[in-house]
Structure 1
Amino acid sequence: MVFSSRVTLVITGLLLLSACRSEPIQFHTLTPVSAATPPQGAEIRIESISVPPQVDRPQVVIRQGDSGVAILETQWWAASLVDELRSALADQLSSSNPRHSVSVRLDVQRFDSIPGQYALLDVKWRLRQSPASKSPLLTCRTVLQSPSGQGIDELVIAHQNNVRRLATVINQAADRGAADCPASQ
C-alpha cells in the first residue's frame, strides 16, 4: 500500500509539472538575412529612436479588434524594439546607400501589427547630412503598410519590409540633398 501511494504521488506530481510547462519562447528580428557584405566608407548614425509605450516591450504586441491589444508571451523581439529598429535601419541604410554620411532621428508614431492583415510603420524622421554637404535639416513623416499573412513570422517579415522601404525613402532624401520629403515607397 505504501509503495502504491508513493507511485501515485510521483505520477500526480509529474502530471502537474507537465501541465505547468509553457510553450518555448520564439525570438524575432527586424534585420533580414542578408547575403551582401555591407559596404565600407558610409557613416550612418542613428541619433535616437522612440516608439509608442504600448509596443515598447520585449514581447511582440498585436492589435485585436478595434480597441484591443494582445501581448504575445511566447513571441519576443531578439532585442528591445528600439534596438531592433536601430540595427535593422542602420543595416538597410548602410547596405543600400554607401555614398552618404547621414544622421537620422526617428519618432515612431505607430507600430501596428495585425496578423492576417498588415504591419504598419508611421514615423516622423529627421535627416541631417554631414556638415560638409551644406544641406538643410529635413523633417518628414512616412507611413508604410505591408500586407501580412496569419503567422507571426509573416508579420515580422512585413515589418522588415517596412523598415527596408523606410531606408529607401531616407536614402532618396539624402540623394536629393534633403530639399524636400520623398513620397513613401
Structure 2
Amino acid sequence: MAFPRKIMLAAAVLLLAACRSDPIQFHTLSPTSTSAQSASAVQRGNVEVQIETISIPPQVDRQQIVVRQSDSSLAILEGHWWGASLVDEMRSALAQQLPDQGAARKVSVRLDVQRLDSLPGQYALIDVNWRLRDLDTDARPLLYCRSRLQTAAGVSIDEIVIAHQQNLRQLAAEITQAASNTAWRCSSSS
C-alpha cells in the first residue's frame, strides 16, 4: 500500500515541476537617472507641456513586449512584460522629461504613435506624429510635427528597452524645443 502512494507522490511532484514556468520580468520606459531630466531642464525655458493623449498601434499595445522577428512576423514575449500598459509607460517616461510646473506658458501635446519596432540585435524605433496646442491663447495655430527616432539595440530585451528610453528622451527634447521656440516650429527629426 505504501508503494503506490510513493509512486503517486512522485508523479505529483514531477507533474508540478513540469508545470513550472519561468518568472515574468517587468521592464519600464522610465529612465532611472535624473541626468536626462537635469540636462533637458536647461532647454525647458518658460513653457509647461502637458500630455493630452497617446495612441499606440494595436500590434504592440499590450502588457507583453512585442518584438519583430522578420519583415512579416512579430513575437509576443510571454516572459517579458511592461511594468504598466505601454501607453502608461510612455506617458510616465515622457512626463518625467517634459517641462511640467511653474511656467508662464502652458502647452499640450497629443501623440499618435504610427510605429514602435523592436528588432533584437539591430534597433528600437518610434515613428510618431505629434501636435502641440497653446493652452493660454487660441491666437497661435496648432503645430503638427513628426519624429522618426531609431537607436541601435543589442540582442537582450534590456538593451532594446534602453534604446526605447533613448528614443523617448530624444522625443521629449524635440517636443520641448518646439514648445519653447517663439517661432513655434518643429525641430528636425532624427
TM above 0.5, yes or no, is yes
CA RMSD of aligned residues (A): 2.3
Cα-to-partner distance string for 1:103-124 (whole Å, 9 max, x where unaligned): 0000000000111111000000
Residue in 2 aligned with 1:163?
Answer: 168
2:156 to 142, 151, 156: 151
Paired with 2:86 and 2:181, the residues of 1 have a C-alpha distance of 30
- Check if 1:58 corresponds to 2:58: no
Residue in 1 aligned with 2:26?
Answer: 27
Report SS of the residue matched to 2:188.
coil
Deviation at 1:94, TM superposition (A): 2.8
Deviation at 1:45, TM superposition (A): 1.4
Paired with 1:42 and 1:24, the residues of 2 have a C-alpha distance of 43
1:182 to 160, 174, 187: 187
Q: Amino acid of the residue matched to residue 167 of structure 1?
A: A
> For structure 1, which segment, 54-63 or 41-50, has the greater mean C-alpha deviation from structure 2 after superposition?
41-50
Cα-to-partner distance string for 1:23-51 (whole Å, 9 max, x where unaligned): 11111111011346888x96431111100
Cα-to-partner distance string for 1:57-97 (whole Å, 9 max, x where unaligned): 100000011100000011101111111111111111137xx
- Where structure 1 has 5 or more consecutive residues not aligned to the other structure, the ranges are none
Paired with 1:23 and 1:104, the residues of 2 have a C-alpha distance of 39
Residue in 2 aligned with 1:3?
Answer: 2
Report SS of the residue matched to 2:98.
helix
Residues 71 and 46 of structure 1: is their aligned pair in 2 closer, same or farther, counting only changes over 3 Å?
same
Residue in 1 aligned with 2:74?
Answer: 69
| C-alpha contact (below 8 Å) 2:105/2:136 kept by paired residues | no
Residue in 2 aligned with 1:108?
Answer: 113
Q: Amino acid of the residue matched to residue 33 of structure 1?
A: T
Residues 178 and 159 of structure 1: is their aligned pair in 2 closer, same or farther, counting only changes over 3 Å?
farther
| C-alpha contact (below 8 Å) 2:29/2:93 kept by paired residues | yes
Q: Provide the TM-score with structure 1 as the length reference.
A: 0.89
Residues 53 and 152 of structure 1: is their aligned pair in 2 closer, same or farther, counting only changes over 3 Å?
same
Deviation at 1:101, TM superposition (A): 2.7
| C-alpha contact (below 8 Å) 1:136/1:178 kept by paired residues | no
- Where structure 2 has 5 or more consecutive residues not aligned to the other structure, the ranges are none
Q: Amino acid of the residue matched to residue 149 of structure 2?
A: L
